[in-house]
Amino acid sequence: MTFRTSALQELFEPSVTALGYDFVAVELTGDGSQTILRIYIDLPGGITVDDCQRVSRQVSAVLDVEDPISGEYTLE
């Protein structure tokens, strides 16, 4: 991967924190169709599946507009 994770953090962190979550980390692993983009979030009371869905929708919208990753990948 040639894309810096710090650039991805700069891209996603404002959207995640605007939703009220703590942005913990971003990870981009794999190659080609096996590429995985993981975003780690937290809240003092813990994270639920609904929280993950909410952040995923927001991050997906950012990905659609900015298109920072070429090729196929899976967002987790």
Task: Please write the tens of the pLDDT for every residue from 22-64.
Answer: 999 999 988 877 889 999 999 999 999 999 999 999 999 999 9
Residue 3, pLDDT score: 58
State yes or no: pLDDT of 73 exceeds 90. Answer: no
Q: Give the Cα-Cα-Cα angle 10, 59, 26 (nearest 5 degrees).
A: 50
Q: How many helices (H) and strands (E) does the chain have?
A: 2, 3
Secondary structure letter of residue 45 according to DSSP? T
Q: Is the pLDDT of residue 2 over 50?
A: no
Q: How far apart are CA 59 and CA 13, in angstroms?
A: 9
Query: Could you tell me where the beta strands, DSSP code E, fall in the chain?
Result: 22-29, 36-42, 74-75
Residue 14 clears pLDDT 70, i.e. is over it: yes
pTM: 0.85
